[in-house]
Chains A and B, each alone.
Chain A
Amino acid sequence: MAVAAALNERPDARRYEANAATRESPWIRRLILGTALIFFALFLLMPLIAVFVEALRKGWFTYITALADPDALAAVRLTLLIAAIAVPLNLVFGVAAAWSIAKFEFRGKRFLTTLIDLPFSVSPVIAGLIFVLLFGAHGWFGAWLFERDIKIIFAVPELVLATVFVTFPFVARELIPLMEAQGREEEEAAVVLGANGFQILWRVTLPNIKWGLLYGVILCNARAMGEFGAVSVVSGHIRGLTNTLPLHVEILYNEYQFAAAFAVASLLALLALVTLGLKSLVEWKAAQHAATDA
């Protein structure tokens, strides 16, 4: 959605402030701006700063020790592994879904779009629960899997499944409006010129949607690495084995190792900041791209 929206250039706020019909009296302006900024500081800025302050409260040594801990490193590896599986899966799905929904007409299209968005409206706890129901010891496939000694619950496959579920819509919902806005003329032109399906996808469609795709992947990745509720339900919290970074934060915190908990948390907060930075960059690039096209 965001890249599709960025195609409209953002107007300069000064034009509102220069216009007698759209400007507020100075004290109303101060009131709105002041309230908005206080709200922003209280609920967004201060929690972010608190993470870093708390992380460094006991000094750099404690900070580095917490991050160099073997369990922490194992958590980093697992988190990266999960994201490395879940994100490409949802990426391929996102392109396929957007291709069929944006480039073709068929009945039930709106309904299908709603279904794709479904995981966003399901509580992460329930996202975890459904996989416990399927693969847990008392679940549908639990006994069958147990007999064959296949571990899914409290193991990596289940963590991946839960993560795929909660990050399911990210790429698709980014691409669908973008590809709908672009229409199908360019692809049709490619067909007329004799391109096959793969060539059209690779040479025409993907270059056109690359910023939207990247945007979706960035958000998908952030959620995949940061998901807590769903993986908390399915992980079993086995240190060094099924502990992702957010779960590791929880364990440290519940053991009253606050500085260490915040140290690991600061790593995730940095990831969030990088995500936001990349996201702004992609939005800016997409807007620039649209401006040079126009």
Chain B
Amino acid sequence: MSIQVEHIHKTFGSFVALDAVSLDFPSGALTALLGPSGCGKTTLLRVIAGLERADSGRVVLAGEDASDTHVRQRRVGFVFQHYALFRHMTVFENVAFGLRVKPRRERPHEAEIRARVMRLLELVQLAPLADRFPSQLSGGQRQRIALARALAVEPKVLLLDEPFGALDAQVRKELRRWLRRLHDELHITSVFVTHDQEEALEVADQVVLMNRGRVEQQGTPIEVYEQPATPFVYGFLGAVNTFHGRIEGAHLRVGAATLAHGQDQFALDGEAVAFARPHELMIVTDPDHADGIAASVVRILSFGASTRVELDSLTPEPDSALPVHYEVILPREQIQALKLVEGQRVRLVPTRIRVFQGQAA
């Protein structure tokens, strides 16, 4: 079932948590809400759940306006970052809770409750632990129980708040793959909040990038990674090299150097910022090469199949005492062919560059 939010506005005192957010979460998809802490992603999730009330705007669940529906009646499954399991209940009772609190005429029979809970525990592969208490489980197991508990009431949508945030790296990776598989089985419309770009890109069908209470971009993982819509998205997803300069016709002037930007939509010359990923920069060893930015090699880090080269620009930014730092990733063979040494002066030439005019990164 689909979720739409329309013009959601939410403030906490003078802090604007959500600023006119409108989004359409496709039915049956797994969507990641991604952004730095304080960007409003958790608030948005809680507004959708009905745990937080928006100052203005609408939440539409399965085509119906749910803005005034209490969280109790919204039938959303919510999974908390710190699990929020009921400590005094067994795993079984935790999962059964949502069924037991139903009004008498809707409540399933004891036998059916038992069957349903056990089915869910098998789904999350924890059936043997039904009689344990939450304190006897590992973090990853607790999170799976929390998920089973949320699914027990057959929610229309599933909302997960930083579901892997409290787990260590190894368990995180496993649980991530497991959540993806589970979603492929159930196809329930799901939204999860994360600040981990790798997690969002690996697990989700759709990624929504948020910053300072606004949506920066929505799209598939490939779209947002390959075609970032704003400087923020460029900077937030993956490593990136930043160039501050001026548009001069078909070129971007960065200090003494000029770079061809290959974009023709700039009507006016003026201040601009450009981005290139580490693999989108070429290293030219000829110091007299006309194009590119003069830099010196600081460190060469060779691990695995690719090599990372760290460089400093030779012309410092006007308002900064520190040299601008660049990062280039090249296949190992290419590095060996270049025969780079630390301290060597080179020029950096982008193979692909994306320029944003009149915007700060």
Q: Measuring CB to CB, which residues of chain A are less than 8 angstroms from any residue of chain B?
A: 18-21
Closest to A19 in B: B51
Mask of B45-73 contacts with A, CB within 8 angstroms, 1/0: 00000111100000000000000001100
Give the shortest distance, in Å, between B255 (CB) and chain A (any CB). 43
List 11 A–B pairs whose Cβ atoms lie within 8 Å, in order of A's numbering. A18-B53, A19-B51, A19-B52, A20-B50, A20-B51, A20-B52, A20-B53, A20-B70, A20-B71, A21-B51, A21-B71
Tell me which residues across on chain A come within 8 A of B51, comparing CB atoms: 19-21
Q: Measuring CB to CB, which residues of chain B are less than 8 angstroms from any residue of chain A?
A: 50-53, 70-71
Bound: A18/B71 CA distance, A: 13
Give the shortest distance, in Å, between A184 (CB) and chain B (any CB). 27
Tell me which residues across on chain A come within 8 A of B50, comparing CB atoms: 20
Bound: A154/B71 CA distance, A: 69
Tell me which residues across on chain B come within 8 A of A20, comparing CB atoms: 50-53, 70-71
Give the shortest distance, in Å, between B9 (CB) and chain A (any CB). 16
Bound: A18/B51 CA distance, A: 9
Give the shortest distance, in Å, between B149 (CB) and chain A (any CB). 15
Closest to B50 in A: A20
Known pairs A20-B53, A20-B71; list 9 more (Cβ under 8 Å): A18-B53, A19-B51, A19-B52, A20-B50, A20-B51, A20-B52, A20-B70, A21-B51, A21-B71
Tell me which residues across on chain A come within 8 A of B71, comparing CB atoms: 20-21
- Chain A to chain B: the 10 pairs with minimum beta-carbon distance, closest first: A20-B71, A21-B71, A21-B51, A20-B70, A20-B50, A20-B51, A20-B53, A19-B51, A19-B52, A18-B53
Tell me which residues across on chain B come within 8 A of A21, comparing CB atoms: 51, 71
Bound: A19/B53 CA distance, A: 8
Closest to B69 in A: A20
Bound: A114/B71 CA distance, A: 46
Closest to A22 in B: B51
| Residue of A18, A19, A20 with most chain B CB atoms under a 10 A cut-off | A20
Bound: A19/B52 CA distance, A: 6
Tell me which residues across on chain A come within 8 A of B70, comparing CB atoms: 20
Bound: A264/B86 CA distance, A: 53
Bound: A21/B70 CA distance, A: 9
Bound: A20/B52 CA distance, A: 7
Give the shortest distance, in Å, between B229 (CB) and chain A (any CB). 34
Tell me which residues across on chain A come within 8 A of B53, comparing CB atoms: 18, 20
Bound: A20/B70 CA distance, A: 7
Bound: A19/B51 CA distance, A: 6
Tell me which residues across on chain A come within 8 A of B52, comparing CB atoms: 19-20
Bound: A21/B50 CA distance, A: 9
Bound: A76/B71 CA distance, A: 62
Bound: A19/B12 CA distance, A: 13
Bound: A19/B71 CA distance, A: 10
Bound: A247/B162 CA distance, A: 63
Tell me which residues across on chain B come within 8 A of A19, comparing CB atoms: 51-52
Give the shortest distance, in Å, between B22 (CB) and chain A (any CB). 22
Give the shortest distance, in Å, between A159 (CB) and chain B (any CB). 48
Tell me which residues across on chain B come within 8 A of A18, comparing CB atoms: 53
